[in-house]
Chains A and B, each alone.
Chain A
């Protein structure tokens, strides 16, 4: 019991000790930043796995750990689409998950964002042409933000989420 407390006090805060991110291959669009305006100080995410290989989920999981600590930016991960502001979709949309994805989108209260995470969600990636795949996320629901990579590193996801919180879009570039 007290060993845990002692250990965590001795370790100190480890947040932020990760390698820097590469610049995103596709910059966040002005419209998406405009759309994310109500969520600048508080963003709740629901992760929807439509058939990914689970590597993208591992990277999303890493966001919540002490090193990346996405909570310090006011980002929470929720258990229900009803609590959500942004749906993070990973993986190509498989036949069996198509309806679930559309349901989740419908149950997300407005205003909402859709973030396609990983190459699979953007263009089916390595699963392109499979008989079980009905196409990228964009074919089924409108996508606002794309985060490329197979899988994208947590730092890159954080960089894009940081971009969404900017006050004046792209003013410093």
Chain B
């Protein structure tokens, strides 16, 4: 019985991640369209795009190796695996035993690594450029991300995501160390914008190859490979938003497997994530993309914030 419930929960979480990711992308696009005085595509447009791409015949460059075809599957699988490691609507992840927060960070890094390789593989100039930029952003974002999560992990006394989320959810909105909490949150938010290719760092809607980071690595992809890559990018965005929502503000998440708690947990989760997507859409409309050489400064600021959060945690505890 217990094993059955756990299995069902894993499947539900899996399906939810896959199904919700395009919707979040649609929400951001809709908010941006409205702030550009446009009507914009419907919220379900990303689903139609994916369905169409899966039906197309992919084109492969004759200069590519097996990495080119394997990368989309690896990127997709590692991103989904990272998503399964973290609590989404229930504070106890079924796959809790499989890894903690460090595993999650490095599963995402594995995806990024193969994305970078794939960008280099076809040997086109733009792909290589995108890869080198992505490598810069990824290496600078990772320490800030680790530190900001560690600050929260210290508060909860565990690097296990389920424990962190469960403990803070049980506190019902009481934050033990507010300054540390807020600084870690700010650092994590900047990292999210950088890692998912959002505006101050990268522009997901650009058509200019010279300014691309994430898109430049995908220029060579077509058909189902492109669909997998774009879907994975959507899931990665959702994973980061979930991380912010559940680690920094887990209130309302289901803390037991009672049906009522599960339903409210899911509803609260979807509302929170969609709200965060709206915030990202507004930010994208307010800011211009940063010059590439200013990006390290932004990520440096995120790192300092996360470091300060750690220092505050220790000093405030006395």
Contacts and interface: CB of A to CB of B under 8 A. Distances in A.
Contact of A66 (B36, B41, B218, B219): B36
Contact of B226 (A38, A76, A82, A111): A82
Interface stretch (B4-12, B55-63, B137-145, B247-255): B55-63
B52 interface: yes
B285 A42 contact: no
Contacts of B221: 82-83
Interface in B274-296: 282, 285-287
A4 to B, nearest CB: 6
Contacts of A14: 37-38
B285 A8 contact: yes
Contact of A110 (B33, B37, B56): B56
Contacts of A74: 41-42, 45, 48-49
B56 A8 contact: no
B35 A8 contact: yes
Given A4-B285, A69-B38, A80 B219 contact: yes
Interface centre among B37, B52, B215, B218 (most CB of A within 10 A): B37
A22 interface: no
A11 B42 CA distance: 21
A131 interface: no
B207 interface: yes
B48 A82 contact: no
Nearest to B44: A41
A112 to B, nearest CB: 9
A100 B55 CA distance: 26
Contact of A15 (B38, B58, B207): B38
A77 B282 contact: no
Interface in A79-99: 79-80, 82-83, 85
B220 interface: yes
A24 B56 CA distance: 30
A78 B286 CA distance: 24
Contacts of B40: 69, 71-72
A15 B212 CA distance: 28
B48 A42 contact: yes
Contacts of B57: 109-111
A69 B39 contact: yes
A1 B287 contact: yes
Interface centre among A12, A66, A77 (most CB of B within 10 A): A66
Contacts of B282: 5
A66 B49 contact: no
Nearest to A39: B52
Interface in B170-211: 206-209
Interface centre among A8, A15, A80 (most CB of B within 10 A): A80
Contact of B52 (A15, A41, A78): A41
Contacts of B220: 80, 82
Contacts of A11: 37
Interface of B: 33-42, 45, 48-49, 51-52, 55-59, 206-209, 212, 215, 218-223, 226, 282, 285-287
Given A42-B52, A108-B59, A109-B57, 14 more contacts: A8-B37, A9-B35, A13-B38, A14-B37, A41-B51, A42-B49, A44-B49, A69-B40, A71-B41, A72-B41, A77-B207, A79-B212, A83-B221, A109-B222
Q: Which 6 A-B pairs have the closest CB atoms?
A: A82-B222, A41-B48, A15-B39, A42-B48, A110-B57, A66-B37
